[in-house]
Amino acid sequence: MLDFASVFKDLKVVELATALAGPLTGTYFKELGAQVLKIEPPRGDVSRMWKNPFEKDPATSIYYDSINGLKPCITLDLKNEKDRQKLELHISESDIIISNFTRKKALEFSVSYPDLQKIKSDIILANVTGYGPEVEKAAFDMMIQADSGLLSMTGYPHGLPAKVPLAIADILASHQLREGILCCLLKRLKTGEGSEIQVTLMDSLVSSFTNQAGNYLMGNFIPQPLGTLHPSIAPYGDIFLTADHKYLLLAVGSDVQFQRFCSAIQYQEWVEDGKFRTNQSRIENREQLGEEIGNILCTKSANEWIETFAEWQVPAARIRNLQEVLDDPALQHLIVKETGDSRLIKRMKTLVY
């Protein structure tokens, strides 16, 4: 792991954002070594109340802790003049402000970019909203998943859409915020000037559609739900039940890999079969191919197949649950343990390089 602490240790960040995208960005800069101060409204960050049925702590939630960890935190009421003066002091000593205010709220609280520039001319403002600062519309990740069209591509044919079980729009927006802030820091280093960046959940999610968007933009094809299957590669995303009742997923991405797959399962004749020889023919005959592969993979355990496919360099994976993943010795470096306030917090790192 690279150590950036000496580079970022003097960087000061004020985090005014709540929920996920903004706070996760603040946590990222804390992990880089920056000094991050989280400022919450009197009612607290909304995610403190997002609890599982088994959670009993009235002051926080696993959701909140998984995003914020033990960042230093104070409470200020930005509707109160004295508290706004306290905020101005923090801003005057800071380099970056992270927020999630609409333009109307930013003006009300005197934290718009022009307001901040009056306090510190080279300040960097990174603001995230659902649809843009001018849109006075509440926005949460699930709503963006629907409005962006993502949910039209999830689930199975003739079934209901299925949500991505992560706040994917928020997470992608957080990555956009981080990249934007780092670009602004580089600009300030070169010019001495501050910057304002505006990121939206909607833009962050839709811009990630890449090949699926291309299917419509260049092929006039509207992507349809296919479960785990890939619209233009086969067998890729196909799931099969093995002899030990485990699920195995194939991700065969090329004709060469398919040839190796045929050798691994000892069905070399498929390489010359016109129905399966090329990726295009496999797409056209996907249902038959899946049935035949299923009849083969059900004869051995998942681990046996994983070992065989590894020998032949065939991309495949067993579907693991989170207990298996987070107990994996190879992934322990991703888990952060923080102790404070008589509590132990375990969360995932935001910095993985």
Query: How far, in Å, are 227, 240, 242, 253 from residue 282 at the CA level?
Result: 17, 17, 22, 11
Give pLDDT tens digits for 33-65. 999 999 999 999 999 999 999 999 999 999 999
Task: Identify the three-state secondary structure at position 105.
Answer: helix
Helix intervals (H) in the chain: 5-8, 21-32, 62-68, 81-92, 103-108, 113-119, 141-147, 168-191, 201-206, 210-217, 255-264, 279-284, 286-297, 302-311, 322-326
Average pLDDT over the chain, rounded to an integer: 97
Which pLDDT score is estimated for 2? 82
Helix intervals (H) in 240-321: 255-264, 279-284, 286-297, 302-311
- The answer to whether 128 and 21 have CB atoms below 8 angstroms apart is yes
User: Could you tell me the two tokens for 338?
Assistant: 């923080």
**Helix 168-191 with 21-32: angle, nearest 10 deg:** 50
Q: Residues in the chain, how many?
A: 353
Listed as own residue / partner, the contacts of 252-260 with beta carbons closer than 8 Å and 24 or more positions apart are 252/314, 252/315, 253/315, 254/279, 255/279, 257/313, 257/314, 257/315, 258/282, 260/312, 260/313, 260/314
Give pLDDT tens digits for 289-326. 999 999 999 999 999 999 999 999 999 999 999 999 99
Is the model's pLDDT at 282 over the cut of 80?
Answer: yes
**Helix 255-264 with 302-311: angle, nearest 10 deg:** 120
| Residue type for position 54 | F
> In the chain, what percentage of residues exceed pLDDT 70?
100
Is the model's pLDDT at 281 over the cut of 80?
Answer: yes
Confidence band of 193 (pLDDT split at 50, 70, 90):
very high
Rounded CA separation 139/145 (Å): 10
Q: What is the DSSP string of 186-228?
A: HHHHHH---EEEEEEHHHHHHTT-HHHHHHHHTT-------TT
Which pLDDT score is estimated for 61? 98
Confidence band of 342 (pLDDT split at 50, 70, 90):
confident
> To which residue do tokens 């299917």 refer?
215
Return the closest-CA partner of residue 309 out of 247, 258, 254.
258
- Full-model pTM: 0.96
What does the pLDDT average to over 219-233?
97
Residues paired with residue 281 on neighbouring β-strands, in sequence order: none
Which domains, and CATH codes, for the chain?
A: 5-207+334-348 (3.40.50.10540), 236-319 (3.30.1540.10)
Rounded CA separation 116/82 (Å): 17
Task: Give, for 127, the enclosing helix (H) or strand (E).
Answer: strand 124-129
Residues paired with residue 340 on neighbouring β-strands, in sequence order: 343
Which pLDDT score is estimated for 341? 83
Return the closest-CA partner of residue 110 out of 135, 81, 137, 134.
81
